[in-house]
């Protein structure tokens, strides 16, 4: 029997009402949302109708708030979403989502949202925004002084040795081919320091890392690891074209802004805000574990 037929019969809906409920993502088949009204199903398969559930696209555009107060709003940015619009004036950005959220939650028609720092479109994780003009400069000062602890989870190609270390190589806007990269001379470029620690090794195929930024340059982790011979899984820009394809496909760079730590400039409170690893990275790690095993310490 078709799904829309069974939903109409089971929950007392018209056929049209059943199709609309399925299209809105309000029907689960065996515990999973199904958006296919014509799908043939066994009547014994468990069905669930959730009329109050929002459309998946609407839910996906909601702001995932990790912390907020009158000065600051800290959100978990999903991969694929810009922090702020580019010259193309994209509409669905973290900035736009934050504005809509503050309009609803605080009843302000034109809420102030200030950008203090950014992460790449395809990097997920913690982003700090300010929601009052008075808060912009104090938080900008924290980032300029490198007084904010910034930690990232990364999955890089190959086995990284030593297991813990520091990459201290200045970055330049153009390394000679029109792309950002490390400077050839120690006295050139902007100082960039990345501390890393191996969390898991998957044979010699990949390594899961905790990276901490002492400086926060554009694409710093991506460039440092790529030029050390260990590009991020899914890296498209800085990965050498001569490298063989990575055996596990991944649609973005495997990088997640895990946390921010700082002393709140208005309250004096020590803050440590973290975002859980998103599903796509969790699944990538699970695949690597199942195929290549795991070791959590050198020599395991």
Q: Indicate if 214 and 98 belong to the same structural domain.
A: yes
Q: Indicate if 65 and 52 belong to the same structural domain.
A: no
Beta carbons within 10 angstroms of residue 261's beta carbon: 15
Residue 41 has pLDDT above 90, yes or no: no
Residue 235 lies in a domain: yes
Tell me the average pLDDT of the chain: 90
Q: Indicate if 122 and 245 belong to the same structural domain.
A: yes
Domain count, the chain: 2
Q: Indicate if 156 and 52 belong to the same structural domain.
A: no
Q: Indicate if 77 and 137 belong to the same structural domain.
A: yes
Q: Indicate if 95 and 202 belong to the same structural domain.
A: yes
Residue 299 lies in a domain: no
What is the pLDDT, as a whole number, of residue 255?
98
pLDDT band at 233 (very low <50, low <70, confident <90, very high): very high
Residue 298 lies in a domain: no
Residue 192 has pLDDT above 70, yes or no: yes
Q: Indicate if 41 and 72 belong to the same structural domain.
A: no
Q: Roughly what angle, to the nearest 10 degrees, separates helices 3-11 and 15-23?
A: 110
Residue 29 lies in a domain: yes
Dihedrals phi, psi of 60, to nearest 5 degrees: -65, -25
What's the CA gap between 125 and 122, in Å, rounded?
10
Most confident of 49-53, 91-95, 255-259: 255-259
- Region 64-85: what's the mean pLDDT? 94
Residue 201 lies in a domain: yes
Residue 60 has pLDDT above 70, yes or no: no
Q: Tokens 């395991």 belong to which residue?
A: 300
Q: At which of 22, 37, 56 does a domain end?
A: 56
Q: Indicate if 26 and 142 belong to the same structural domain.
A: no
- Whichever domain contains 25, its CATH number is 3.10.290.10
Residue 37 has pLDDT above 90, yes or no: no
Write down the pTM of the prediction: 0.78
Q: Which domain holds residue 163?
A: 61-292
Higher pLDDT, 142 or 62: 142
CA-wise closest residue to 129 among 157, 100, 155: 100
Residue 70 lies in a domain: yes
Residues 6+ apart with CB under 8 A from 194: 166, 167, 211, 212, 213, 214, 220, 221, 224, 225
Identified catalytic residue from 4, 76, 120, 122: 120
Residue 297 lies in a domain: no
Q: At which of 38, 56, 74 does a domain end?
A: 56
Q: Indicate if 99 and 41 belong to the same structural domain.
A: no
pLDDT band at 54 (very low <50, low <70, confident <90, very high): low
Residue 241 lies in a domain: yes
Residue 227 has pLDDT above 70, yes or no: yes
Residue 184 has pLDDT above 80, yes or no: no
Residue 299 has pLDDT above 60, yes or no: no
Q: Indicate if 147 and 75 belong to the same structural domain.
A: yes
What is the pLDDT, as a whole number, of residue 196?
98
pLDDT in tens, 3-23: 999 899 888 999 888 888 888
Q: Indicate if 168 and 248 belong to the same structural domain.
A: yes
Asked about 120 being catalytic, the answer comes back as yes
pLDDT in tens, 242-280: 999 999 999 999 999 999 999 999 999 999 999 999 999
Higher pLDDT, 110 or 61: 110
Q: Indicate if 120 and 240 belong to the same structural domain.
A: yes
What's the CA gap between 27 and 19, in Å, rounded?
10
pLDDT in tens, 159-183: 999 999 999 999 988 887 777 888 8
């Amino acid at each position: 029997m078709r799904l829309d037929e069974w939903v109409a019969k089971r929950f007392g809906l018209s056929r049209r009402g059943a199709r609309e409920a399925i299209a809105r993502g309000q029907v689960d088949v065996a515990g999973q949302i199904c958006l296919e009204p014509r799908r043939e199903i066994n009547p014994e398969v468990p069905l669930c109708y959730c009329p109050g559930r929002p459309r998946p696209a609407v839910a996906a555009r909601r702001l995932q708030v990790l912390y907020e107060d009158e000065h600051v709003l800290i959100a978990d940015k999903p991969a694929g979403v810009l922090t702020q619009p580019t010259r193309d004036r994209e509409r669905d950005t973290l900035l736009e989502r934050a504005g809509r959220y503050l309009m609803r939650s605080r009843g302000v028609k034109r809420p102030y949202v200030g950008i203090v720092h950014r992460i790449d479109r395809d990097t997920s994780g913690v982003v700090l925004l300010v929601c009052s003009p008075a808060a912009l400069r104090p938080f900008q000062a924290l980032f300029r002084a490198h007084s904010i602890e910034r930690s990232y989870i990364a999955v890089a190609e190959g086995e990284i040795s030593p297991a813990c270390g520091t990459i201290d190589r200045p970055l330049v806007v153009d390394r000679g081919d029109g792309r950002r990269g490390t400077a050839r001379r120690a006295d050139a470029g902007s100082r960039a320091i990345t501390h890393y620690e191996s969390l898991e090794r998957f044979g010699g195929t990949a390594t899961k890392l905790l990276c901490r930024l002492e400086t926060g340059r554009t694409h710093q982790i991506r460039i440092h690891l790529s030029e050390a011979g260990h590009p991020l899984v899914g890296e498209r820009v800085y990965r050498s074209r001569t490298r063989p394809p990575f055996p596990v496909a991944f649609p973005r760079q495997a990088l997640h802004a895990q946390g921010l730590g700082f002393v709140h400039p208005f309250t004096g409170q020590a803050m440590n805000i973290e975002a859980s690893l998103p599903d796509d990275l969790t699944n990538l790690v699970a695949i690597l574990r199942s195929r290549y095993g795991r070791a959590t310490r050198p020599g395991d």
